Amino acid sequence: MSKTVTKTLQATLATPTAGKEQRLQRLLDTYREALHDAFDNRADTMSAVNDVVTPYELPYQAKDALKSYVPKLRSTYNAEELDDEHPLRLVNRAAKFDYSDEREHGFVWQVPQPGRGTNFWIPLRVNPEQESLWFDLLSEDAKAGELRLQRHRTSWELHVTVEYPVEESTDPDNPTYIGFDVGESALITGCALKRDVPRKPMLVSGSRARHLRKEMFTTLRRLQSRDAAEWRVDERFDHYQNALTDIVEKASRQAVEYAQQFENPVIVLEDLSYIRERLDYGKFMNRRLHAWAFARLQGRLEDKATEAGIRVEYVNAAYTSQTCHACGCLGRRGQQAEFVCPHDDCHVSEFQADINAAANIAGRANPWGESVRWEPGRDDSPQDGSACDSATVHQETSPRTGQMTLSVYSD
């Protein structure tokens, strides 16, 4: 069986000629004017929007998009006013693309214009990782949805929503549950459980993302204190967000590739729906932790897992970093990324904290399809926020006979 997945393709328009640049800008400006006019007139039905936008020189693909979008602004999005930088929206009939490997930029898009015979073609620089889906659009194996065209200071970007079928994941026999813990020092930590034993853990360092977030916060604050031009602040913000997006994409892809090496994999993630409400480690730590999009990384991981046909489950997130994965006892984190089990009869003595958390996450998956509820007896975790930090690992021999040690070094 298969199911439909929705994804947004992103492309940058090759630098247009002066004439095409003017036509693109005129199209965007006219669309925004029509959008504000319909919104200010409180048009709340397709017919009412049509009455407002009909006189504007816009292609029918843009007018149809306005008729669908404007009524939702107040009823669905509760908008009280509009931003001046809305992208140009087009319905899927504007998704006319062509490809030739003889061109410098293989893919081209036919830009819709008002009037007959006025459309023009423009080359696209597509994301290489999404190239196969662009070909699927051409072959109609994927179906185009809404298009959005936005101008940045030095470039134009086109976003195309596509729907395409993927094989629906089934309940595998004898599944391998693989837990993923998302954190700050270790961006993502994965651990597979086979017969309740952790196997071949993976860690992706978060040092680069941590450095970028700190630099972004400092740079933007300095620019704002100097009353820098708004475009300069936006440009720097976009720079950092693009860099962080790249990190998220690479980390989520690495996580799915890790899961695929196991037989019948099932990915298990923490339910972080209320992470902002649950975190309370003081103003400084809260700013750092809230600045990182935990759910964003999980979302991209789930998207890639779905495309790969891997089932994803969510489990209770409570105490995963403070419980021994082997015996279930509450332990302590003697160092930032070291978990210590206090139970003398447990074969675990010290363990890398994030791998321990990932193993707990995997262990909470219920083979009957529901997350396992877990109630701790007490909370021995540190109160300074260190329970959410982590680092990379090496293994060493335990000083306690018959017990396992997996401790840490700093990155």
Contact 314, 371 (CB under 8 A): yes
Q: What angle do CA 185, 361, 210 make, to 5 degrees?
A: 15
Q: Which of 167, 184, 216 is the last residue of a domain?
A: 167
Q: Which of 53-62, 209-218, 331-340 has the highest mean pLDDT?
A: 53-62
Q: Which domain, by its residues, includes 352?
A: 176-365
The model's pLDDT over 185-197, given as tens digits with 9 standing for 90+, comes to: 788 989 888 777 7
Q: Count how many domains the chain has.
A: 2
Reference 20, options 126, 147, 120; nearest CA is 120
What pLDDT is recorded for position 311? 87
Structural contact between residues 179 and 362, judged by C-beta atoms closer than 8 angstroms: yes
pLDDT > 70 fraction of the chain, expressed in percent and rounded: 78
In this structure, the answer to whether residues 268 and 160 fall within a common structural domain is no
In this structure, the answer to whether residues 203 and 131 fall within a common structural domain is no
Regarding whether 349 and 206 lie in a shared domain, the answer is yes
pLDDT digits (tens, 9 = 90+) for 103-119: 989 999 999 999 989 99
The residue from 167, 197, 225 where one domain ends is: 167
**Residue 73 domain-assigned (yes or no):** yes
pLDDT band at 403 (very low <50, low <70, confident <90, very high): very low
Identify the CATH number of the domain in which residue 330 sits: 3.30.420
Cα 303 to the center of its chain, rounded Å: 8
Q: Which amino acid is at 15?
A: T
| Whether 146 and 223 share a structural domain | no
